[in-house]
Structure 1
């Protein structure tokens, strides 16, 4: 497709809005958690499950969704995901108990798994080279609007109407995306002769679900309880079985050969540490501001507004710079800045002075995050072929979601049964360490792609 065409711009908007839906839900839920636990009970355990039920199904099925998008067509899978996300949002909105809400969140995760890899694969299959890096930067900036709209609108709704209404705010982007898909009128491309590894999908779900259940519920039962040990052991065995299956299956969900590509393999290692940090760091700040500092939901959401603003302003710029100079050092210093930002917040005390104790760290984190996300995504997806873009984006998103899933499941081990100032500080330090490791992995392992110039005989491209 010719660069800069109207069809490309439409593809970019569809990709942004389809991902926006799942990012919106991920950003809005954190600010609603205290109200949900007050209404439905369960304390920190309920809060962890409301987040992790979504991440378990999203993280474990996103690989299957990537294969489905290649086999059945990315546009068809996007449509199914959008409709499914709308319906499961209603289940969450009208949930009478915590158990029903957690079930609804798990179903939402299934729908979200259909959205993210297909939307990113649309970009990688319709843009090339520096234009692809810039488009991913625009996708990053566009989806970051969700991190502004979600918490702020969600905070206002929680404080005025109630937490149930936060699950209705994704109706508009779903409707607009469905309309744009009809306007695009692009023919779906389907891979021929591909078989889907359903056995691998089952092993993946069990392999993630068992250990996560044990990590969350160990505070209630203790590690010596069969109710904890059994799912943990079975989950670990299933996870090992999943890896074995991927190494031996003719058409695996997660081709291990992808990890032999240097930037893909190293980039996903960096993703593991960075997104584990982003998940627990983002959650703990919002919970601390409401449950310890006493902020209303709206003010807790507004407190993180600088992060979203900086991402919108800077992500496209950093994406373009990474396209020109290579992603390596952006992926190194970006997480390092984020780590310093979290360490600055360790100075916080009760009563909390947001302007002096939290804002400087939040701003520094926002700049670092802007320098990290687009180059990271571009380095990983730019290292593999267009034909592998669907499964490549699915694998990278699965790694990110699973990292967040496990990190949030371990939150109780770091914080204890009740969040207090000491627990907040411990999570901040853990977050900073994870970010620093992610930056170090990138600095050592990522390679900038060879620059292409056009000064060969006849003006052809020369490496």
Structure 2
């Protein structure tokens, strides 16, 4: 590990002024990405009205970003290890800000989607760097405190996102959901350049797995295209071809990672039953979470007449409960292991989603919605810490970065595919998302599907996750 600057990597104290500057840079950078993820969902209905965008276009506004982020996040971490974590973090921040500016100026749905893909590339560059910078900048005894503070403070951005997004969209324009990123990015760059030490991994792979990244992006992109395009007019030759290409690219990605000398994703990690089960549970849980909250915000605005600000505010209990409960779950995992918290948490969150399916058409009350979202938040609070512990505790320490990145990519891909597939599964097409009579029954069916995904996550956790993590995790080599 090498470092440049006044303070070398690994020697910063948490309570020192240099340590606070590093924490500020990483919190602002990660918070910007978290904020964007929650703000844009609130802005979808106004975007559709202003740009005359149908449901498939709005799906791509969400998924174009998520696709690029999920496909390239592992590559972004590798670039930071090889070329410098601060450098790639700053480049990603500038890229994200530039793409956000372009999104805010987009004149039509197609242009907005293209710029959202660019925004996702920037997010894939800066997101892995946040934790890597903290891990390498702070001295060993202060890393847990720094990461805990980062988690809590960055989480506030998720909590503020729906409210800030609702206010910006309601008082100004949906375009400010993207333009707000520019001043945040400027602050991140200024602080990073002046106060964040540079670090690299001296043992990083000498070659990047560009082929693997390309196959992963092609597989996810083609599959997503097929899922979104299919319901609009039935399956045509292009849709079928996209589905075939998507599946073939996924298979080719696995084969590539098995044979590559320097794979982006070492498949040996999946020899660990715990690692495999935790990621499978992640896919089910985050698929359900991504699908239900996209449709809940639309339901509240289209069917119940909530303003963007009011609809966005309904999501506050999710993050508020997670901020209050999640940190305490670390001690619970140490005492009883990850299996039961993951199982029970998934079932509690799924129960909240079932309650959401019972919302009456046009009659949703604020206390009822807040309570249901809080139940989902309680379940997520119980399961997130043990899920993370299972992923990181199932591999050797030197693979912690790639294990964390893999789990992040799995959660993003799950949300991506859920947003693409759910409307097709419940028969919601074209402009029907703006029709209360069409949206409400589709919303009810979709929430029950999402509840089923949470139940599947609970089952996988019960069967595949151990009571106690092994003392000698599986080595990926």
TM-score (norm 2): 0.88
1:196 aligns with 2:205: no
Match of 1:106 in 2: 117
Query: Does the CA contact (< 8 Å) of 1:136 and 1:319 recur in 2?
Result: no
Q: 1:143 to 1:439 in 2, by over 3 A?
A: farther
Match of 1:459 in 2: none
Counterpart of 1:440 (choices 459, 466, 472) is 459
Q: How does 1:124-139 map to 2 (within 5 A)?
A: 137-139=148-150
1:74 aligns with 2:85: yes
Q: How does 1:39-78 map to 2 (within 5 A)?
A: 39-78=50-89
Shift of 1:236: 1.2
1:145 aligns with 2:164: no
- Cα distance in structure 1, aligned partners of 2:337 and 2:21: 27
Shift of 1:11: 4.7
1:116 aligns with 2:127: yes
Moved more, 33-42 or 411-420: 411-420
Counterpart of 2:420 (choices 396, 399, 409) is 409
Shift of 1:133: 6.6
Match of 2:271 in 1: 260
Match of 2:230 in 1: 218
Shift of 1:244: 0.5
Unmatched tracts of structure 1, length 5 or more: 453-463
Shift of 1:122: 3.6
- Cα distance in structure 2, aligned partners of 1:167 and 1:345: 29
Shift of 1:260: 1.8
- Cα distance in structure 2, aligned partners of 1:333 and 1:381: 20
Shift of 1:174: 2.4
Shift of 1:4: 4.8
TM-score (norm 1): 0.90
Aligned length: 451
Q: 1:389 to 1:172 in 2, by over 3 A?
A: farther
- Cα distance in structure 2, aligned partners of 1:333 and 1:132: 30
Query: Does the CA contact (< 8 Å) of 1:20 and 1:146 recur in 2?
Result: yes
Shift of 1:427: 1.3
Q: 1:185 to 1:353 in 2, by over 3 A?
A: closer
Shift of 1:165: 0.9
Match of 2:409 in 1: 398
Q: 1:122 to 1:260 in 2, by over 3 A?
A: farther
Q: 1:265 to 1:74 in 2, by over 3 A?
A: farther
Q: 1:134 to 1:340 in 2, by over 3 A?
A: farther
Q: 1:156 to 1:370 in 2, by over 3 A?
A: same
- Cα distance in structure 2, aligned partners of 1:8 and 1:285: 40
Q: 1:30 to 1:396 in 2, by over 3 A?
A: same
Q: 1:248 to 1:100 in 2, by over 3 A?
A: same
- Cα distance in structure 2, aligned partners of 1:86 and 1:54: 14
- Cα distance in structure 2, aligned partners of 1:141 and 1:295: 29
Q: How does 1:281-300 map to 2 (within 5 A)?
A: 281-300=292-311
Q: 1:138 to 1:267 in 2, by over 3 A?
A: farther
Match of 1:351 in 2: 362
Match of 2:469 in 1: 449
Counterpart of 2:217 (choices 166, 184, 205) is 205
Unmatched tracts of structure 2, length 5 or more: 1-9, 434-438, 473-477
- Cα distance in structure 2, aligned partners of 1:421 and 1:284: 10
Q: 1:342 to 1:288 in 2, by over 3 A?
A: same
